[in-house]
């Protein structure tokens, strides 16, 4: 193969190091910091150089002729399901404060189980709503950790 | 001293106080098992509960909570690759692979024995030499800490021996880069925050560890449509493997535990170091001195690799009580909260405490120790049940792992931005792992990076911009030479290996 | 003497506020309070809020208290949250302290205390300049002389960043004593405890810290306090001179207090302030306060605002003298 996977990664890290190094030069310096031996820029600049050099070494070093897993294997992975899980997590983050911990978490778990192939209704129910309720009770009731939950508050369960 | 010890012992062994320690252990283990909530939260949450209690009872409750939370932290590291506390990151390196092979019960048991032994040996040191060790705690200055962090970073070499030296190095640099995000430690300017208020405090360790370890691992399992191997399946059905270690295994880890206790305790005594660095150093050291055949096991479920950091972690936690009790100096977030707890019981630690109130001094140490004992007694019988968590079908277990990892981080900051950031890091981690980049060096460098920069910078400030501290301070010089020695050996080995056989692929 | 007259003006305002507060306190009865804590569990803000909530409930002044931690942006996240959700935060009090002034002066977050409803300051801690017990500096004058000769011979350790509170206290003390505050060799540590360790290990000659922490270390025989930034000598340490007595005419107090959401009705705000005032007289509060070595500096409402403005002015002048940009 002309462009080995590791070479591509070496280029990505090289670009990252350069971007990091450029950004590092934008860090504002503290008053009178210009004459200090070690400023807020020093360490990042050194890192950018190190990153660049190591990426370069990876670029020119002999590569593994038979990387595992192979590209064909990787493309065959269950990317669709993982993408769905990622979207689910993002949705969870977006709804946790609006709908409250209880509803948001329960639906997150429910959707997760369904996505991964659980079909038994009693199982689906058991490890979502009641489980979250118990968990939330332990956190909120026993440990006194405050969880904003507009939904439960409307039902009059939490304050 | 004997009298003080006796008073401490009789107080701690009253039935009510034993009940307290049991309650504390349970609460602590539960809190600690949730990735995210560690000893800091556990103690902080318990302080108001103890306001009305008799100080002795309160203190003993706290001791149970403290050790329970530490123990619980290693449980989630081993079972679901979710190191909730920085000190248990190294535990996940080998504990999780062991659990995946079907030895979850044994891994948890080794962790429990290692924690217990580390705590016990450290307690003996405390009893013998606590007041004298105070001067050790004060002998380290910024240059020495800097050298120590660099030495800690050499533990990266443990992940570099499989034909992926440069990749491990790149991940180390990446970890160091991530550590520079946020407000600069000394000059208060923001770096790499891109104007976001959410990045101002920097990326939290917990967030990064959960995303790159727990989340990415759970996603990998889905991605590869992996079923547990037949062997692991059998072990799962068989009650998660037994807890028992055979004589050979005991003989193998006993010296590891001995060495790691000593190292962990000494590192713990230093107020600027702490349990995380102790666990990395112990892991690196054990790998370094392991016999040739055993070295390759590290990172793939080595008993030594599990016992070393777990012992050192606990020994360091006990060691950190030296500066706390004898100098009144908290060396870590956990001991700072513990100091708050002690003060709320009307105990003011410091050099006078040992002289004026030996009974209090000893009852603090003894109640810590009794917490450690009770924890072992309570938790060993529970391990088979806890380990059975892994027997849940994947389709149930994986959403639960995702949920616990996300909530663990969310419960600390209550910032939903963190959840999105975790998703981003998890995706990056999955892709990097598929390309053969190891995650451990990244997290290790992330933990050490901030401390490294801070101490180097302070050293230069104190030495007026000169690097003379590297050879003028004996401790710095000693540690630096040790670092060079550690670096030289595997490098030579690596080069020799490379010449002798073709490069083998690393595991994802 | 302008400071004095301003202070007496504040006192008058406060009395007026209290009378008003007392008159309406019966009308608005507060049964529960939700505390918003801009940092994580176990920190200084967390301890203050939880101790206040505990004292209020145990003394029977309110029925229940809840605590919400929200960290991020050095406290800015919680402030923004309180402002955004102001209409449903009438039962919420946010704990805060001196850094809110510093951080908004330096533009770390766009808001300031003016965007909130200040309720009251409740406790405070004075600053202290400290040397090792066996230090060659017998008193502040000796340290000052060494500093004038070579600032590197009087390096100052502190538990905050450069330009943070511990740095500013030290710079202010030297400035008030007539020396150049710009020359202070300030060595930052990430916590007060580590700064103390650095002083004890001989890494620096001086330490700038809170009086509460300093007095404990002094009682243990580890350090001597060169001066304290209080207006008068403190009962807890009658032998320790104030910085003013030692030749540096300045005072400083790091307050901790509570803020409510913007647009809170005045009678409700007064009722909260009144509640916190009554708490200070309870036995349980006295016990908690003494344990932590806190000093009562109860300043309700208008008096609190005047105090905040005064502190903001002083800090701004000092930051500018140090060449640090301020945005307000």
Domain ranges of chain B: 2-500
CA atoms within 13 A on the CB side of C164: 27
Task: Quickly count helices (H) and strands (E) in chain C.
Answer: 11, 10
Cross-chain residue pair A146–C68, CB shorter than 8 Å: yes
**Alpha carbon distance B180, B496 (integer Å):** 36
Return the CATH number of the domain spanning residue range C2-124+254-321.
3.40.190.150
ipTM over 0.90: yes
Q: What is the pLDDT of residue C15?
A: 40
Task: Outline which parts of chain C fall under CATH 3.40.190.10.
Answer: 126-228
Q: What is the pLDDT of residue C2?
A: 38
pLDDT in tens, C97-156: 998 898 888 887 888 899 999 999 999 989 999 999 999 999 999 999 999 999 999 999
Structure tokens at C184: 């202070």
Q: Look up tokens 């809190």; give the residue.
A: B31
pLDDT in tens, A114-159: 999 989 999 999 999 999 999 898 888 777 788 878 788 777 766 5
Q: What is the pLDDT of residue B504?
A: 46
**Nearest CA-CA partner of C307 in C89, C95, C9, C42:** C9
Q: What is the pLDDT of residue B233?
A: 62
Alpha helices in chain A (DSSP H): 5-24, 42-60, 71-76, 79-95, 101-115, 121-126, 129-136, 150-155
Residues of chain B with pLDDT under 50: 503-508
**Alpha carbon distance C107, C191 (integer Å):** 23
Q: Is A32 on the interface with C (CB under 8 A)?
A: yes
Cross-chain residue pair C34–A146, CB shorter than 8 Å: yes
**Alpha carbon distance C189, B455 (integer Å):** 9
Q: Is C67 on the interface with A (CB under 8 A)?
A: yes
Indicate the average pLDDT of chain C: 86
Q: What is the pLDDT of residue B195?
A: 79
Return the CATH number of the domain spanning residue range C126-228.
3.40.190.10
Q: What's the N-to-C CA distance of chain A in angstroms? A: 63
Range C67-96 average pLDDT:
88
**Nearest CA-CA partner of B252 in B114, B364, B150, B390:** B114
Whether the predicted pLDDT of C28 surpasses 90: no
Q: Is B138 on the interface with C (CB under 8 A)?
A: yes
**Alpha carbon distance C224, C240 (integer Å):** 9
Is residue B314 within 8 Å of residue B307, measured between CB atoms? no
Q: What is the pLDDT of residue B1?
A: 60
Cross-chain residue pair B406–A54, CB shorter than 8 Å: no
**Alpha carbon distance B44, C67 (integer Å):** 12
Q: Is the dihedral of CA C196, C199, C201, C204 positive or negative?
A: positive
Whether the predicted pLDDT of A88 surpasses 80: yes
Q: What is the pLDDT of residue C12?
A: 40
Is residue B158 within 8 Å of residue B299, measured between CB atoms? yes
According to DSSP, residue B101 is labeled I
Least confident residue range of B179-188, C10-19, C88-97, C159-168: C10-19
Q: What is the pLDDT of residue B127?
A: 79
Question: What phi-psi label fits residue C247: left (phi over 0), alpha (psi between -120 and 50 degrees) or beta?
Answer: left
Tell me how far CA of residue A93 lies from CA of A108, A129, B396, B478, in angstroms.
10, 18, 20, 49
Q: What is the pLDDT of residue C16?
A: 40
Contacting residues of B for C288, CB less than 8 Å apart: 51, 344
Rounded to 10°, the helix C283-292/B333-344 angle is 130
**Alpha carbon distance C271, B27 (integer Å):** 37
Interface subset of A 68-107, CB within 8 angstroms of C? none
Tell me how far CA of residue B42 lies from CA of A138, B176, B503, C44, in angstroms.
13, 29, 47, 16
Residue C77 has its nearest CB partner, among B45, B197, B271, at: B197
Mutation site, A31, A34, A40, interface C, largest C CB count within 10 A: A31
Range A2-24 average pLDDT:
90
Task: Outline which parts of chain C fall under CATH 3.40.190.150.
Answer: 2-124+254-321
Range C240-253 average pLDDT:
93
**Alpha carbon distance B315, B115 (integer Å):** 8
Whether the predicted pLDDT of C46 surpasses 50: yes
CA-based nearest distance B203→chain C, Å: 10
CA-based nearest distance C109→chain B, Å: 8
Q: Is B141 on the interface with C (CB under 8 A)?
A: yes
Indicate the average pLDDT of chain A: 86
Which of the other chains make 3 or more beta carbon contacts under 8 angstroms with chain A? B, C
Q: Is C85 on the interface with A (CB under 8 A)?
A: no
Q: Collapsing DSSP states into helix, strand and coil, what is residue C204?
A: coil
Whether the predicted pLDDT of C10 surpasses 70: no
**Alpha carbon distance B449, A78 (integer Å):** 35
Write a three-state SS string for B84-96. Answer: CCHHHHHHHHHHH
Q: What is the pLDDT of residue B505?
A: 43
Strands C32-37 and C92-97: parallel
- Largest Cα–Cα distance in chain B? 69
**Nearest CA-CA partner of B28 in B98, B115, B110, B92:** B115
* Torsion on CA atoms B303, B306, B311, B317, rounded to nearest 10: -170
């Amino acid at each position: 193969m002309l462009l080995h996977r590791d070479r591509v990664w070496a280029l990505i890290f090289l670009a990252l190091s350069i971007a990091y190094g450029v950004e590092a030069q934008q860090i504002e310096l503290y008053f009178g910091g210009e004459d200090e031996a070690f400023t807020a820029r020093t360490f990042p600049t050194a890192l950018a150089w190190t990153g660049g050099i190591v990426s370069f070494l990876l670029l020119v070093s002999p590569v593994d002729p038979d990387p595992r897993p192979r590209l064909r294997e990787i493309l065959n992975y269950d990317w669709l399901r993982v993408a769905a899980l990622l979207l689910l997590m993002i949705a969870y983050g977006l709804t946790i404060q609006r709908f409250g911990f209880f509803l948001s978490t329960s639906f997150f778990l429910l959707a997760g189980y369904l996505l991964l192939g659980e079909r038994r209704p009693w199982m689906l129910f058991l490890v979502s709503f009641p489980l979250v309720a118990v968990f939330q009770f332990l956190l909120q009731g026993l440990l006194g950790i405050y969880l904003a939950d507009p939904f439960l508050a409307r039902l009059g369960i939490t304050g | 001293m004997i009298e003080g010890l006796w008073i401490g012992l009789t107080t701690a062994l009253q039935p009510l106080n034993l009940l307290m320690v049991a309650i504390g252990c349970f609460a602590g283990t539960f809190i600690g098992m949730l990735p995210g909530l560690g000893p800091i939260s556990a103690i902080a949450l318990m302080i108001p509960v103890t306001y009305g209690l008799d100080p002795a009872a309160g203190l003993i409750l706290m001791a149970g909570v403290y050790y329970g939370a530490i123990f619980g932290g290693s449980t989630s590291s081993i079972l679901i690759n979710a190191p909730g506390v920085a000190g248990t990151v190294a535990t996940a390196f080998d504990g999780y692979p062991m659990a995946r092979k079907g030895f979850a019960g044994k891994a948890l048991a080794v962790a429990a024995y290692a924690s217990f032994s580390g705590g016990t040996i450290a307690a003996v040191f405390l009893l013998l030499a606590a007041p004298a060790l105070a001067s050790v705690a004060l002998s380290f200055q910024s240059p020495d800490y800097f050298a120590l962090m660099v030495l800690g970073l050499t533990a990266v070499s443990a992940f570099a021996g499989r034909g992926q030296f440069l990749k491990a190095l790149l991940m180390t640099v990446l970890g160091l880069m991530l550590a520079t995000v946020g407000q600069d430690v000394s000059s208060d300017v923001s770096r790499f925050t891109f104007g976001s208020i959410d990045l101002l405090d920097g990326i939290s360790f917990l967030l990064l560890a959960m995303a790159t370890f727990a989340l990415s691992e759970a996603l990998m399992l889905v991605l590869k449509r992996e079923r547990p191997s037949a062997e692991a399946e059998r072990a799962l059905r068989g009650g998660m493997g037994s807890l028992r270690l055979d004589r050979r295994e005991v003989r193998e880890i006993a010296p590891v535990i001995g060495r790691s206790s000593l190292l962990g305790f000494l590192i713990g005594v230093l107020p600027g170091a702490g349990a995380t660095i102790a666990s990395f150093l112990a892991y690196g050291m054990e790998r370094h001195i392991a016999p040739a055949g055993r070295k390759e096991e590290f990172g793939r479920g080595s008993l030594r690799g599990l016992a070393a950091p777990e012992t050192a972690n606990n020994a360091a936690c006990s060691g950190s009580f030296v500066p706390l009790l004898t100098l009144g100096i908290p060396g870590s977030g956990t001991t700072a909260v513990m100091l708050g707890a002690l003060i709320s019981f009307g105990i003011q630690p410091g050099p006078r405490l040992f002289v004026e109130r030996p009974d209090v001094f000893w009852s603090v140490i003894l109640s810590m120790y009794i917490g450690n004992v009770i924890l072992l007694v309570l938790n060993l019988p529970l391990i088979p049940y806890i380990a059975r968590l892994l027997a849940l079908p994947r389709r149930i277990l994986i959403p639960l792992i995702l949920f616990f990892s996300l909530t663990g981080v969310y419960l600390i900051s209550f910032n939903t931005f963190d959840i999105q950031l975790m998703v981003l890091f998890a995706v990056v981690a999955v892709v990097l792992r598929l390309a053969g980049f190891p995650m451990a060096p990244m997290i290790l460098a992330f933990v050490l990076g901030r401390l490294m920069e801070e101490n180097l910078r302070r050293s230069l400030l104190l030495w007026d911009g000169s690097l003379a501290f590297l050879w003028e301070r004996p401790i710095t010089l000693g540690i630096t030479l040790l670092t060079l020695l550690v670096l030289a050996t595997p490098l030579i080995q690596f080069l020799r290996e490379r010449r002798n056989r073709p490069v083998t692929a690393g595991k994802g | 003497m302008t400071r004095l007259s301003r202070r007496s003006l504040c006192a008058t305002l406060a009395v007026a506020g209290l009378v008003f507060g007392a008159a309406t306190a019966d009308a608005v009865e507060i049964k529960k309070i939700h505390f918003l804590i801009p940092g994580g569990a176990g920190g200084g803000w967390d301890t203050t809020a939880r101790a206040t909530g505990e004292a209020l409930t145990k003394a029977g002044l309110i029925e229940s208290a809840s605590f919400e931690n929200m960290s991020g942006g050095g406290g800015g996240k919680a402030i923004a949250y309180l402002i955004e959700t102001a209409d449903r935060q009438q039962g919420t009090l946010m704990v805060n302290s001196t850094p809110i002034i510093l951080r908004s002066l330096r533009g770390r977050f766009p808001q300031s205390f003016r965007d909130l409803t200040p309720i009251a300051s409740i406790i405070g801690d004075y600053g202290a300049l400290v040397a090792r017990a066996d230090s060659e500096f017998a008193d502040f004058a000796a340290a000052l002389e060494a500093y004038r000769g070579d600032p590197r011979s009087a390096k100052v350790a502190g538990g905050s960043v450069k330009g943070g509170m511990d740095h500013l206290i030290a710079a202010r003390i030297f400035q008030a004593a007539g020396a150049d505050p710009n020359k202070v060799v300030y060595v930052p540590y990430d916590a007060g405890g580590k700064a103390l360790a650095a002083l004890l290990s001989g890494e620096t000659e001086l330490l700038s810290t809170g009086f509460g922490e300093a007095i404990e270390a002094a009682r243990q025989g580890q350090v001597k306090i060169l001066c304290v930034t209080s207006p008068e000598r403190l009962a807890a340490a009658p032998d320790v001179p104030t910085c003013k007595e030692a030749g540096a005419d300045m005072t400083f107090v790091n307050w901790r207090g509570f803020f409510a959401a913007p647009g809170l009705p005045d009678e409700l705000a007064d009722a909260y302030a009144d509640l916190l005032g009554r708490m200070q007289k309870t036995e349980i509060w006295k016990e908690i306060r003494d344990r932590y070595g806190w000093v009562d500096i109860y300043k309700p409402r208008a008096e609190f605002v005047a105090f905040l403005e005064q502190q903001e002015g002083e800090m701004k002048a000092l930051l500018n003298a140090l060449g640090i940009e301020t945005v307000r």
